[in-house]
Amino acid sequence: MSACSDGILLLDKPAGISSNAALQRAKRIMGVRKAGHTGTLDPFATGLLILLFGQATKVSDYLLNADKRYRATLRLGQETNTGDREGEVVASGRVDFDQPQLDAALSQFRGRISQIPPMFSAIKRDGQPLYRLARKGVEIEREARSVEIYSLDLLSWAGDELVLDIHCSKGTYVRSLAQDLGRLLGCGAHIRELRRLSSGSFSIDAAYDLDRLAAAREADQCPLQAMDLALQDLPAVTLTENTAYYVRQGQGVVIAHAPAPGRIRLYGPQAQFLGLGEVMEDGKVAPRRLMGVN
């Protein structure tokens, strides 16, 4: 079987397993040791989980910061302690509002909003994840966080089921959004189904489920995408053979027509991706995270 160990894998995570369990299964299928993911999905959730293999783990920060898009199905009339279908019902209410009231409520959650993260989350307090405290029945005060909801579209509403398309910034908790919306509507709500549709420029349309991934490797196909696809927002700089040599040695170089100061993508003379660099204030190009260099 041909080598396929460095790059980005778009995985369609199934329901019922954790993001880490999905990662471990993908690692076994791919036969690689070094890998990570770039944004946890709850076990009940499905959809796009971006996995980084080998050298691609060096670009993880750029994917962690990406905006996300979800399709969320809300169960109206019940609030749970986890904010999703796996929790215990802690409050109930009548679904007694009309379309204009729903539209007005949704409008309150577009743009820059403040959210209190749920207790059932991986946020740590004194080194301990909040969900461990929550499982013991302990609830502590959490600081509100500012997040951006770029769009919040109503796809359907029938009885106690509401389906939303949500495009949001990193750090947004869709469970908190559903809970806050339910409280504003006066009936309570929790997430019944959640599917991540995109992360940054990557879409679920190009993702592999675990069975298809196994079939691809069995057929000796490499499903990994190029690592520099995660960095398309950064300016690209192509080095000469001479300047590429010095950059690989960890030295800064002077190039003609350098971009403005900031992070850049570095390429060699044959268009091979070398890694991340930075244009300094003095115009020099310095290496930051190079591929093939530990």
Task: Please give the pLDDT value at position 224.
Answer: 96
Q: Is residue 40 part of a domain?
A: yes
pTM of the model: 0.90
Q: Is residue 2 part of a domain?
A: no
Catalytic residue chosen out of the listed positions 42, 84, 180, 228: 42
Residue 12 bridge partners (DSSP): 48
Do 160 and 126 fall within a single domain?
yes
Task: Please give the pLDDT value at position 116.
Answer: 86
CATH of the domain at 72: 3.30.2350.10
Q: Could you give the number of structural domains in the chain?
A: 3
Do 177 and 105 fall within a single domain?
yes
Task: Please give the pLDDT value at position 130.
Answer: 72
Task: Please give the pLDDT value at position 16.
Answer: 95
Q: Is residue 238 part of a domain?
A: yes
Residue 6 a catalytic site member:
no
- Domain, as residue range, for 43: 7-66+201-228
Q: Tally the C-alpha atoms within 13 A of residue 101's C-alpha that lie toward its C-beta.
A: 11
Q: Is residue 248 part of a domain?
A: yes
Do 50 and 157 fall within a single domain?
no
Task: Please give the pLDDT value at position 134.
Answer: 66
Q: Is residue 254 part of a domain?
A: yes
Do 238 and 259 fall within a single domain?
yes
Do 127 and 104 fall within a single domain?
yes
Do 150 and 208 fall within a single domain?
no
Place of tokens 């962690």: 64
Q: Is residue 110 part of a domain?
A: yes
Distance CA 123, CA 130 (A): 6
Task: Please give the pLDDT value at position 136.
Answer: 67
Task: Please give the pLDDT value at position 137.
Answer: 72
Q: Average pLDDT of each block of 10 consecutive residues along the chain (294 residues)?
A: 86 96 96 90 95 93 91 98 93 96 98 87 72 72 90 98 98 95 98 97 97 96 94 94 95 92 95 95 94 70
Do 62 and 207 fall within a single domain?
yes
Task: Please give the pLDDT value at position 65.
Answer: 87
Do 207 and 194 fall within a single domain?
no
